[in-house]
Amino acid sequence: MGTLVRILFDAPDATPARAAFQRIAAIDRALSDYNPQSDLNRLCQTQSATLTADLARILPQALALARETRGAYDPTLAALTRHMPAPPALHGYQRVTLTGRRIALNGVCFDLGGIAKGYAAQEALHTLRQQGIKRALVALSGDICVSGKGWRVAAQGRTITLANACISTSGNDAQPGHIFDPRTGQRVTREGQVTVISPSGPRADALATAHHVTSPAGTWIDERR
């Protein structure tokens, strides 16, 4: 996914991390737009398929978030981001038809860069729980998910304490010009960041991207109850 992964937890040794890293690697093989043989890229090439396991988990969430944000987050931006070899000329989540696990792209292609890291972080936590680790932190660039209490996380110059939640910060500070406004097709060039806290890693990731497009710099969205 074009970034480094950091996993922290308390245990006698690092053995549980192996399973978590393997789960992240499997997600990368499925969702990567850099790997021409990923499940995602094969779907983009065929334009219709029965979804594999990780695509079946993440694409319905991505499309639901696109509808919720009225297109401020749109997972079909490969034509703009051009990570894909020979990307299609169109984008727009409304073109996608999803029925059960059958999907038809109708000329568009997915780029899951705005949701995959949050999904991977949450899945890694789930894998660690299966290994008996109840308190952990998984960080993929600006996307962090924690299990257990007492994790102090810094974002936008503030330090907050998280428990069983995910936090995502989106902005151009570290990688200028990598965010597009799906509604205009133009790069978002303004400075500043937006941070979202949510129980869901994919949701925090996608909403941070959407709010970077629609909300003032420095915005915080906290969905914790």
For the stretch 2-26, pLDDT in tens is 789 999 999 999 999 999 999 999 9
Neighbouring CB atoms inside 10 A of 187's CB total 14
Q: Which residues contact 93 (CB under 8 A, 6 or more apart)?
A: 62, 63, 66, 67, 71, 74, 75, 76, 108
Q: From its phi and psi, is residue 137 left (phi > 0), alpha (psi between -120 and 50) or beta?
A: beta
Say if CB 110 and CB 43 are below 8 A apart: yes
Name the domain count of the chain.
1
Helix (H, G, I), strand (E, B) or coil at 61: helix
**Residue at 176: amino acid letter:** P
**Residue at 175: amino acid letter:** Q
The answer to the question of residue 74 being in a domain is no
Q: Given a cut of 90, is residue 142 above it in pLDDT?
A: no
The answer to the question of residue 193 being in a domain is yes
Report which of residues 134 and 84 the model is more confident about.
Answer: 134
The answer to the question of residue 153 being in a domain is yes
Domain with 158, as residue range(s), is 142-222
Q: Given a cut of 70, is residue 133 above it in pLDDT?
A: yes
- Mean local confidence (pLDDT), 29-50: 94
The answer to the question of residue 97 being in a domain is no
The CA distances from residue 182 to 39, 146, 148, in Å, are 23, 30, 36
The answer to the question of residue 200 being in a domain is yes
pLDDT of the residue at 174: 58
Per-residue model confidence as pLDDT tens digits over 73-123? 999 998 887 654 455 567 899 999 999 999 999 999 999 989 999 999 999
The answer to the question of residue 175 being in a domain is yes
The answer to the question of residue 36 being in a domain is no
Beta-sheet pairing, 143-147 with 97-99:
unpaired
The rounded mean pLDDT for the chain is 91
